[in-house]
Homo-oligomer: A and B are copies of this chain.
Amino acid sequence: MLQPFDDTYFMKKALQEAETAFEKGEIPVGAVIVIDNRIIARGHNLTEMLNDVTAHAEMQAITAAANFLGGKYLQNCTLYVTLEPCQMCAGALYWSQISKIVYGARDPERGCIHLNTKLHPKTIIEGGILAEEASDLLKRFFIQRRNLN
């Protein structure tokens, strides 16, 4: 049976956010938060534009989702993010008690898995959805930035 709302569908939406970040000259990472197959929050990295290290895609999506829901806990929500969350974002996700995290590409150096950041016991984490697309976009960004400097 055709499943229009699967992990790939929502990760494509997160990738669109990452592309928006790319166009703004930001490290291209994007995120969406979904509840009952409905996107309730979107975010993309804005650390350069906002001059703020806390302005990661996930942080903005967490704040927007809580705002939408009218409560700060994201139970029954799934975060789709193109890059494995860092310690800060995983720490925020811990507090949010989110049900599921689905990431695209691994971040072997600064990602929460390698750094062993504690997630909430209620949270499931899975990765590898459209990992190549997410990773290619990041590579393209860093090559372009190197060539501009």
| Contact among B54, B59, B71, B95 with A51 in the assembled complex (CB-CB below 8 Å) | B71
Q: Does A131 contact B (CB under 8 A)?
A: no
Q: How many copies does the complex hold?
A: 2
Let me know if A130 is at the binding interface, CB within 8 A. Answer: no
Interfacial residues of chain A within 59-89, with CB under 8 A of chain B in the complex:
59, 62-63, 66-67, 70-73, 86-89
- CB-CB under 8 A for A72 and B47, given A91-B88, A91-B117, A92-B54: yes
The answer to whether B90 and A66 touch across the interface, beta carbons within 8 angstroms, is no
Given the complex, which residues of B lie within 8 Å of A117, measured CB to CB? 87, 91, 115, 117
Taken residue by residue from 116 to 144, chain A's Cβ proximity to chain B (1 for < 8 Å, 0 otherwise) reads as 11100000000000000000000000000
A-side interface residues toward B, CB under 8 Å? 47, 51-54, 59, 62-63, 66-67, 70-73, 86-92, 94-96, 115-118
Could you list 28 A-B pairs, sorted by A, with CB under 8 Å? A47-B95, A51-B67, A51-B71, A52-B63, A52-B67, A52-B72, A53-B62, A53-B73, A53-B92, A53-B95, A54-B54, A54-B62, A54-B92, A54-B95, A86-B95, A87-B87, A87-B90, A87-B94, A87-B117, A87-B118, A88-B88, A88-B89, A88-B91, A90-B91, A91-B91, A91-B117, A115-B117, A116-B116
